[in-house]
Amino acid sequence: MQENLWVQIFWVLCVATAIVASVLAIWRPRARYIGRVAVGVLMLLGGAVFNAVNLALGDYAGFADQAHFGWVTAAWRAVVAPNQYLFIGLLVAFEAVVGVLILSGGRRTQLGLIGAIGFHLALWLFGWFVTIYCLIMLPALLLLLGAERRAAAVAATTAAPAAVFRVEMTSPKG
């Protein structure tokens, strides 16, 4: 039980940090970086590593039992459960790639955040607890993506005049 408590504390800290940072990222560039780290670490450790350990130690057959729709549970039991090492292995790889992309910066962060948004858009199907979690995380992820896109746009507009100046300085006069 003690190990489970630490996992829950880690998860809550990452989620709370991501939420606060996503709101502050509108005004504070440092908050954007903090949110990026919180979500990236959440996807890497709270997602990929957690699922890899659970796959090694447990059984994912009952994961979809609380799903909102019977077809989700039936499909999970028919497709994923008998092939859990393949499908949960792919999930672990996806979460790891998304986490690394988010932590990488630039366009890769934006791509990782889009992956995290897509992941959360599918996750809500698996029960009320994850639906509430998704309803909390999706606005934070969207705000962080918006902050990353704004920062990239600002960087592009400030870099453009310098590039034009270099071209004008090096072009032949004629």
Tell me the per-residue pLDDT of 33-82, one tens digit each, with 9 for 90 and over.
999 999 999 999 999 999 999 999 988 999 999 999 999 999 999 999 99
| Residue 52 CB coordination number (10 Å) | 17
Ramachandran class of 59: left when φ > 0, alpha when ψ lies in -120 to 50, beta otherwise: beta
What average pLDDT does the segment 124-135 reach?
Answer: 95
What is the model's pLDDT at position 111? 98
Residue 168 banded pLDDT, cuts 50, 70, 90: low
pLDDT band at 163 (very low <50, low <70, confident <90, very high): low
Alpha carbon dihedral 61, 44, 56, 74, in 10-degree steps, equals 10
Tokens of 85: 């090492």
Query: What's the pLDDT at 13?
Result: 95
Q: Residue 4 corresponds to which amino acid? A: N
Q: What integer pLDDT is reported at residue 7 of this predicted model?
A: 84
- Residue 1: the pLDDT is 44
Q: CA-CA distance, 40 to 109, in Å (whole number)? A: 9
pLDDT at 169: 53
- Look at 173 and 25; give whichever has higher pLDDT: 25
